[in-house]
């Protein structure tokens, strides 16, 4: 399908969402960068359309009104649609994604933004999750409602063993590591929220301050340091956590200080016993899900070094992004 036709269909979905929300569907639309959803801006609203069959935006529509004001989450205007094309319309908040501003920001402003993010994150981690929030298959396949938090993870591990180009011996090593590390995250239950996809794409900056923490489709109740999994990935490889338009401008060296800054402003997030081992288990859970969703098309040595199969190997061998952070006397 041609790109112009795809854009036309995406625009039609956005205008249909405006109609369903009781808003003017003839207003100008501006496409916004997004890694996961179709996102459109009007002067006063943001329209997000989810093309995946999981209705993640329904969860966010339920969650949004219960979030504390300090987070700046915009007011929900309407939710609707159907499986594979559900939408969420919210009020537009001043600011641009922090990831897009970051390359041009001074060190002083970067430090200030990180401090403000720490305050938002603390407040979120103190917020109880709504009792009616639907369950979801999370990026880290760890659950508190099963006999062991890694039961779902072990199912995905068996699936991964049967995939072409996957080394079964590597999967055996991963399984041994999962069993060895599981006690570090037990018990896994929590009554308080995490964001679930904490990247600078999901934070708005107006030039002087953070105005909002956005995109709560993966939010759920979980131990707060689960938020470090995606966040530390972003700090190490930020170019993979922005839209294609921003890939070449996004440099890892610009994010080098961010984990240390966050640890200074939110030290409680980095003082969990055996935290490095917990984070390794979170990383395995994330990468195994990624591996089963996007199976390798060639042996590991022919794949990009950042493919999930090679990320799992790096974790087993002790040279993952987490090990590099620890070697730099970082917060993990």
pLDDT tens-digit map of 190-242: 999 999 999 999 999 999 999 999 989 889 999 999 999 999 999 999 999 99
Could you tell me if 130 and 66 are in contact, meaning their C-beta atoms sit under 8 angstroms apart?
yes
What local confidence, expressed as pLDDT, does residue 1 receive? 44
67-78 residue pLDDT tens = 999 999 998 999
The Cα–Cα gap between 107 and 81 comes to 43
Answer whether residue 171 is part of any domain. no
Q: Could you tell me the residue range of the domain that residue 309 belongs to? A: 96-140+185-327
E-assigned strands of the chain?
30-32, 38-41, 45-50, 76-82, 85-91, 96-97, 193-194, 203-205, 210-213, 220-221
CATH number (domain holding residue 214) = 1.10.510.10
Answer whether residue 130 is part of any domain. yes
Helix (H) or strand (E) holding 265: helix 258-265
Could you tell me if 88 and 36 are in contact, meaning their C-beta atoms sit under 8 angstroms apart?
no
Q: Is the pLDDT of residue 330 over 70?
A: no
Could you tell me the CA-to-CA distances from 324 to 71, 156, 233, 318 in Å, in that order? 31, 27, 11, 9
Q: Is there a single domain that holds both residue 33 and residue 115? A: no
154-191 residue pLDDT tens = 999 999 999 999 999 999 999 999 999 999 999 999 99
- Confidence band for 3, pLDDT divided at 50, 70 and 90: very low
Is the bond leading into 187 cis (omega within 30 degrees of zero)? Answer: yes
Read off the tokens for 62. Answer: 């339920």
Q: Is there a single domain that holds both residue 71 and residue 111? A: no
CATH number (domain holding residue 58) = 3.30.200.20
Q: Is there a single domain that holds both residue 297 and residue 254? A: yes
Q: Is there a single domain that holds both residue 84 and residue 131? A: no
The Cα–Cα gap between 273 and 277 comes to 9
318-329 residue pLDDT tens = 999 998 777 555
């Amino acid at each position: 399908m041609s790109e112009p036709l795809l854009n036309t269909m995406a625009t039609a979905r956005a205008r249909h969402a405006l109609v369903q929300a009781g808003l003017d569907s003839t207003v100008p639309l501006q496409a916004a960068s997004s890694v996961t959803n179709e996102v459109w801006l009007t002067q006063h609203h943001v329209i997000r359309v989810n093309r995946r069959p999981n209705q993640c935006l329904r969860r966010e529509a339920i969650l949004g009104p219960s979030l504390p004001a300090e987070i700046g989450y915009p007011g929900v205007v309407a939710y609707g649609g159907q499986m594979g094309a559900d939408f969420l319309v919210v009020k537009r908040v001043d600011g641009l994604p922090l990831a897009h501003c970051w390359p041009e920001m001074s060190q002083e402003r970067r430090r200030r933004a990180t401090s403000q993010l720490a305050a938002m994150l603390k407040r979120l981690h103190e917020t109880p999750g709504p009792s009616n929030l639907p369950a979801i298959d999370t990026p880290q396949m760890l659950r508190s409602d099963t006999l062991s938090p890694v039961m779902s993870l072990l199912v995905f591990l068996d699936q991964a063993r049967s995939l072409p180009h996957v080394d079964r011996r590597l999967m055996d090593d991963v399984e041994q590591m999962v069993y060895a590390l599981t006690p570090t995250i037990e018990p896994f239950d929590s009554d308080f929220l995490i964001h679930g996809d904490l990247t600078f794409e999901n934070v708005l900056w107006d030039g002087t301050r953070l105005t909002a923490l956005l995109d709560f489709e993966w939010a759920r109740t979980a131990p707060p340091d689960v938020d470090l999994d995606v966040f530390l990935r972003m700090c190490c490889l930020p170019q993979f956590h922005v839209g294609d338009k921003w890939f070449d401008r996004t440099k890892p060296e610009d994010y080098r200080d961010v984990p240390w800054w966050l640890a200074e402003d939110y030290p409680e997030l980095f003082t969990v016993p055996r935290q490095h081992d917990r984070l390794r288990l979170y990383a395995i859970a994330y990468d195994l899900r990624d591996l089963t969703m996007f199976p390798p098309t060639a042996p590991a040595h022919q794949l990009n070094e950042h493919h999930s199969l090679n990320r799992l190997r790096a974790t087993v061998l002790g040279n993952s992004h987490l090990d590099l952070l620890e070697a730099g006397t970082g917060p993990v």
